[in-house]
Amino acid sequence: MAALPQSDRFLATSDSLLAAAFQGIERAIRCVRIHLGMDVAFVSEFRDDHRVFRNVDADDAQAPINPGDRLSLQEGYCQQIVDGRLPELIPNTALLPEAMRIPATQALPIGSHLSVPLRLPDGRIYGTFCCFSYAAKTSLNERDLHIMKAFAELIAHQISVDLDSARLRFDKVERIMAVLTGPEPSIVYQPVLFLPDMTLAGAEALSRFHVLPKRSPDQWFAEAEEVGLGVELERKAIDAALAGYRPMWQAGPYYLGINSSPHTIRTGGLLDALAGCPQDRVVLEITEHEHIDDYDGLVRALAPLRARGVRVAIDDAGSGYASMRHILNIRPDIIKLDISLTSAIDHDPMKRALAHALIAFGQQIDCKIVAEGVETETERQTLCELGVHAAQGYHLGRPGELRDMLRRS
């Protein structure tokens, strides 16, 4: 019998997911128990040398076993039935000496017993699905056993699905933990230039991941958020960005844009992270794509940061419907025009009209406009004519090492 994965971290992950699955399984085992007229039904999982009672349904409130209880596999019926030493259908335990020698038969007592293995699609035994009654039930027959087996197949399928989900989640957690305990992410800095004079305004810190699987930084951060480690990964990236940028703060009045999710901001930990920095030269960039369901809470969390001089930018503005909601509720100091708006803006009158509207809006509320994704000289010239305050993009400077920034300062 092949053993299921037994890593402690994997078991904790699978237990949390299976807990939800067993709410549905409970209805199935109750249905079988009532249909067969049995007193107790349960699903057990085999773990190493013991079994864990995953779900228990009983006819009375004083069930002899409870979910979470553990017993040695050497005790009870389950292992012996899986091994073929006991039959799956026992209408009257008193007529089977092997059953009578099991201490639980007398202690509970067990007068009749039905048990079938829970076999996963790959052939492994997860555990058993069992029913028993305190008194003998001689009416039990092969048809009843077939009913048990049919439900056992359905239960095993559901368990398999959830174990696969647990394994997938476990693998994600392991990947993110490896990043958190290793040197990743590395930080590169993309210069931001004032327009039209092309002098250096500052930079945006960008994370890069060189570990497998190869994928975009957005995907790494999304996976970290999915498994509950998003704040930790963001904080690691922010700490690395701030530490690496110190020479630029010493070289001149250059600002640093750092990406942060509303979730990370609301934790309050950024006050400590920014404690040793010139905070009036830090810009928190909140992406337009980030869903925000509590603007009031976010504004409250930003207040102490803003009181220390930290500025706030709405990133990727113009790439979706949420831009104006973010702008109106957060009241940013900077609006960053998304590459989808700036790309080919010199050839697209609708893009120019939208950019002009955002720039005019920014002027009314004393909000600076920064254009992202500038890749041609004609795009830069058009943005200058529209009145954009600053810009970044491959035409102006690719993300790179800090030494490249220092040469430009």
Residue 124: inside a domain: yes
Residue 1: inside a domain: no
Cα gap 302→310, rounded to integer Å: 9
Average pLDDT value over all residues in the chain: 90
What pLDDT does residue 15 have? 55
Confidence label for 292 from pLDDT (cuts 50, 70 and 90): confident
What pLDDT does residue 311 have? 97
Q: 157 and 97, same structural domain? A: yes
CATH number at residue 57: 3.30.450.40
Q: 242 and 384, same structural domain? A: yes
What pLDDT does residue 347 have? 95
Q: Which residues contact 16 (CB under 8 A, 6 or more apart)?
A: 166
What pLDDT does residue 5 have? 45
Q: What is the 3-state secondary structure (H, E, C) of the chain?
A: CCCCCCCHHHHHHHHHHHHHHHHHHHHHHHHHHHHHCCCEEEEEEEECCEEEEEEEEECCCCCCCCCCCEEECCCCCHHHHHHCCCCCEECCHHHCHHHHCCHHHHHCCCCEEEEEEEECCCCCEEEEEEEEECCCCCCCCHHHHHHHHHHHHHHHHHHHHHHHHHHHHHHHHHHHHHHHHCCCCEEEEEEEEECCCCCEEEEEEEEECCCCCCCCHHHHHHHHHHCCCHHHHHHHHHHHHHHHCHHHHHHCCCEEEEECCHHHHHHCCHHHHCCCCCHHHEEEEEECCCCCCCHHHHHHHHHHHHHCCCEEEEEEECCCCCHHHHHHHHCCCEEEECHHHHCCCCCCHHHHHHHHHHHHHHHHCCCEEEECCCCCHHHHHHHHHHCCCEECECCCECCECHHHHHHHC
Q: 219 and 361, same structural domain? A: yes
Q: End of a domain among 144, 171, 198?
A: 171
Q: 256 and 348, same structural domain? A: yes
At residue 8, does pLDDT exceed 60? no
Residue 330: inside a domain: yes
Cα gap 405→409, rounded to integer Å: 6
At residue 272, does pLDDT exceed 60? yes
Give the global pTM.
0.80
Average pLDDT estimate for 43-70? 88
Residue 202: inside a domain: yes
Q: Which pLDDT tens digit goes with each residue over 312-360?
A: 999 888 776 677 888 889 999 999 999 999 999 999 999 999 999 999 9
Residue 2: inside a domain: no
Cα gap 150→32, rounded to integer Å: 10
Q: 401 and 254, same structural domain? A: yes
Q: End of a domain among 119, 150, 171?
A: 171
CATH number at residue 317: 3.20.20.450
At residue 237, does pLDDT exceed 50? yes
Q: 202 and 90, same structural domain? A: no
Maximum mean pLDDT: which of 18-27, 52-61, 174-183: 174-183
Residue 309: inside a domain: yes
393-394-399 Cα angle (round to 5)? 85
Q: Which pLDDT tens digit goes with each residue over 194-216?
A: 999 999 999 999 999 999 999 99
User: Could you list the residue range(s) of the whole structural domain that residue 98 is in?
Assistant: 8-171
As for how many domains the chain has, the answer is 2
Q: 190 and 280, same structural domain? A: yes
Residue 360: inside a domain: yes
Residue 177: inside a domain: no
Q: 215 and 188, same structural domain? A: yes
Q: 89 and 186, same structural domain? A: no
What pLDDT does residue 4 have? 43
Q: End of a domain among 116, 138, 171?
A: 171
Q: 223 and 366, same structural domain? A: yes
Share of the chain above pLDDT 70, in %: 92
Q: 372 and 224, same structural domain? A: yes
Share of the chain above pLDDT 90, in %: 76
Q: 163 and 201, same structural domain? A: no
> What value does the CA radius of gyration of the chain take, rounded to a whole number of Å?
31
